[in-house]
Amino acid sequence: MAKTEVKGDGTLAVPVGRDTRPTRETVIHLLQTKGLLIAFALFLVAFSLASDRFASVDNVSTVLRQVAIIGTIAVGVTIVVIGGNLDLSVGSLLSFTTVLVVDLHDEIGPGPAILIMFAAALAVGCVNGLLVGFARLNSLIVTLGMLSAIQGLTLIYSGGQNVDIVDQEGTWFAFFGRDFLLGIAVPTWIFLVLAVVFHVVLTRTSFGRKVFAVGGNPTAAAFSGVRRARVVFSTYLISAFCTGCAALILGSRVMGSQNNVGQGYELVVLAGVILGGTSLLGGSGSVPKTVIGVLILGFIQNGLLLLGYPYYTQWLVTWVVIILAVWLDVASKRGRLFTTTS
């Protein structure tokens, strides 16, 4: 039993000898709940000490603008993954929608071009949603096939040629990718507004609860009256809409587009989503953590460049981050880092 120490006035007794060190369970719980924030803080401190330019206002603003496209797509993909599925078609969809909105800009004007671009993006989301939600096909196979199909469609539409806006200085289309509001870049505003809106949707609406239910336990969700097909269909529409917003930012920033501009984006987006703690098994995750995951990737890549490392090292670091994030996700569910076989 613990001893007690009584003060001179006899009014306060404090246990003596009690072990006040944090228990192993407390440390594990802290890492599971706050590990992402701790890792983010450590990355920022390490790179700030290594480079005096890293923590400057200009550099931070630049990183936020750079990750806005990936982050905007990642918001939609997070909802798909929480619902228990994958969307690997976002890279090719980004290519197609960017080429489409830029090409139509000079032909029919920026307003109609934006509307048609979003309609095309939502049409792709409908196809993915129908095949995965209602036809119950495997989401990995469906979206991987859609990735190839959309890239082929992009090449057919563009004839293999890059597209550009002729009058780049005389169009308001530049607002979405080049302008600032209250000192913050518009792409950053679009990213953060979408993150806030869909965080509220996931946490404060019945639709959000249905997404978690379908991803966590589809059988129990079905017995509870949740219509899985409709929920899955809606998640792919959201993903397509977010990719359309990213295309709007990209096309407006560059004022042109290559027909393969989105190639590889699906892997970086998925890395940010996984790093943010969204489980590939479905049923768990959050948009704010995805935002942090995307920021970690952005600041790591930026820090490596400032330290003079070649560009390809970013892909190696991204691979390591994905492996560690998936490993820790699985380990947290089984309660240990390693498993043994009999």
| Cβ pair 132, 236 in contact under 8 A | yes
Provide the residue range defining the domain that includes 196. Answer: 54-328
Classify residue 36: in a domain, yes or no. Answer: no
Classify residue 46: in a domain, yes or no. Answer: no
Question: What pLDDT score was predicted for residue 279?
Answer: 84
Residue showing tokens 């000898």: 17
Classify residue 45: in a domain, yes or no. Answer: no
Question: What pLDDT score was predicted for residue 15?
Answer: 53
Encoded tokens for 294: 């995307």
Classify residue 15: in a domain, yes or no. Answer: no
Across 100-166, where does the E strand assignment appear?
163-164
CATH of the domain at 255: 1.10.3470
For 330, counting Cβ atoms within 10 Å of its Cβ (0-12 exposed, 13-18 middle, 19+ buried), the class is middle
List for the chain the helix, strand, coil content (%; round to 5): 70, 5, 25
Classify residue 250: in a domain, yes or no. Answer: yes
pTM given for the model: 0.85
Task: Please tell me whether residue 257 adopts helix, strand or coil conformation.
Answer: strand
Classify residue 123: in a domain, yes or no. Answer: yes
User: Which residues, 6+ apart, have CB-to-CB distance to 162 below 8 Å?
Assistant: 256, 257, 258, 259
| Cβ pair 70, 269 in contact under 8 A | yes
Question: What pLDDT score was predicted for residue 308?
Answer: 81
Question: What pLDDT score was predicted for residue 271?
Answer: 86
User: Which residues, 6+ apart, have CB-to-CB distance to 72 below 8 Å?
Assistant: 187, 190, 191, 194, 242, 243, 245, 246, 249
Encoded tokens for 76: 């939609």
**Count: domains in the chain:** 1
Nearest 5 degrees, angle CA 301-CA 306-CA 310?
65
Residue showing tokens 């289309």: 173
Q: Block means of pLDDT (10 residues each) for the chain, length 342 residues?
A: 51 51 63 66 80 84 92 96 94 95 92 96 97 94 95 91 86 91 93 96 94 91 89 96 96 90 89 85 89 88 82 75 67 59 52
Encoded tokens for 127: 């196809």
Instruction: Return d(Cα 133, Cα 237) in angstroms, integer.
Output: 11
| Cβ pair 81, 278 in contact under 8 A | yes
Classify residue 340: in a domain, yes or no. Answer: no
Classify residue 81: in a domain, yes or no. Answer: yes
